[in-house]
Amino acid sequence: MGENCNDIFHEAHASIVIWGSGPSRWVGWGFIHNEFSDPPYVDDDDEDEYNEDDEDEEEKLKEDMFYADGNTGEQGTVIAANCPIWDPRTYFLCVYESRMRIVMREWERIVENISRDVKEWGTLQHYNSLFGKSQNIQSIDASKACLRASRFFGELCKRISKVTREFKRFNEPGGDGVYFSDVSSHRALSAMESIRSSYRILEELQQELLTSEKEMEDYARELGTYMSLEMYKLNMAANITSTEIRGLALESQRTTQRMDETATSSMFVTNIMGPIAIVVAYFSTDKEKTIFHFEKSPKSFFVSVFVIIISLNVLLYLSNGFRRLNIPSYIWKQVQYHVGYFVAMRRTTKSRGSHRDFESNAP
């Protein structure tokens, strides 16, 4: 679940075959697929020490590798190879019981760690969602982690269901369990009951794994709902901002329209009413005081208005053209240049005249 993980999962398989014709005439084969376990490393300096202890090792208890494969000696479940179980069916059940106990303990440890991590992870995510510490990117990463964990738990459920399915096949009518139906020794019956107990525990562990898988799916669903809500909030904020921008654009359009109306009114006053007012004022003066002597009639009135309108528009057009070409600035620069040149020439002329006067007055 977390970034720091100390567990590495490997798939292992063990097959034990017992074959024989009677209690004293049988043989066993063991096939172990356990590639991930490295052989024990022996240092060269310690080789002599191992050789010196060979005699002591012969006197010690020899472990039956069919029974434990070196996995349960530390837990006190070792069968002495030099004290064998003569009944092959009892021996097989004891080996079967020991192997199932090893499998059960490994699954117990796995499921316990997974259940603890799922609860801690769910509590942390709930705390972050309550106090607003889960950002959008973190939520997306958490959702992906939920989906990965859910798929991983589903894969574990498939593996553990394969183990429980094998025991159901062994214990069903017509299965391999019929070969042990008449076994009456206490050790064999105890081993069979321990096997059943191990499988019951494995089924419970399978249910816990299914529960953890469902919890992770629920967490992923909750995170998806949370991200949808956050996305909805962002969309609402974006819509509000867009509405405000549209309002500002509409207000700007209205302002521009009002400015256009004002400009139209100004142009009407300047281009139409202005010339009419000028002509009316001119026609209202006395004939003796006028500059231009022509007959004041309606025809001359309209002709004067038309001429002034045309003249005014021509002047406006030329003024705008000069402003675009920046002609006044160019003319002013030329005037400054020629004035400066003229002043400089005057100063030079005066200095030469003073020099000649000085030479003429010299003794």
Model pLDDT for residues 80-103, shown as the tens digit of each residue? 556 677 788 888 888 888 888 888
pLDDT > 50? residue 8: yes
Average pLDDT over the chain, rounded to an integer: 73
DSSP state of 62: P
Whole-number pLDDT of residue 35: 58
Whole-number pLDDT of residue 271: 72
Name the β-bridge partners of 63. Answer: 80
Q: How is the chain split into domains, by residue range?
A: 13-37+58-242
One-letter amino acid of 334: Q
pLDDT > 70? residue 324: no
Name the β-bridge partners of 80. Answer: 63
Whole-number pLDDT of residue 310: 82
Q: How confident is the model at residue 40 (pLDDT cuts 50, 70, 90)?
A: very low
Model pLDDT for residues 141-195, shown as the tens digit of each residue? 666 777 778 788 888 888 888 888 888 888 888 888 888 888 888 888 888 888 8
Q: Is the pTM of this model over 0.75?
A: no
pLDDT: is 348 or 243 the higher one? 243
The pairs formed by 218-226 with CB atoms below 8 angstroms and a separation of 24 or more are 219/121, 219/122, 219/125, 219/142, 219/146, 220/143, 220/146, 220/147, 220/150, 223/125, 223/139, 223/142, 223/143, 223/146, 224/143, 226/129, 226/134, 226/139
Model pLDDT for residues 184-222, shown as the tens digit of each residue? 888 888 888 888 898 899 989 988 888 888 888 887 777
CA distances from 43 to 49, 56, 234, 344 (A): 10, 20, 65, 106
DSSP, collapsed to helix, strand or coil, labels residue 134 as coil
Q: Which helix (H) or strand (E) holds 270?
A: none
Distance CA 341, CA 343 (A): 6
Whole-number pLDDT of residue 240: 92
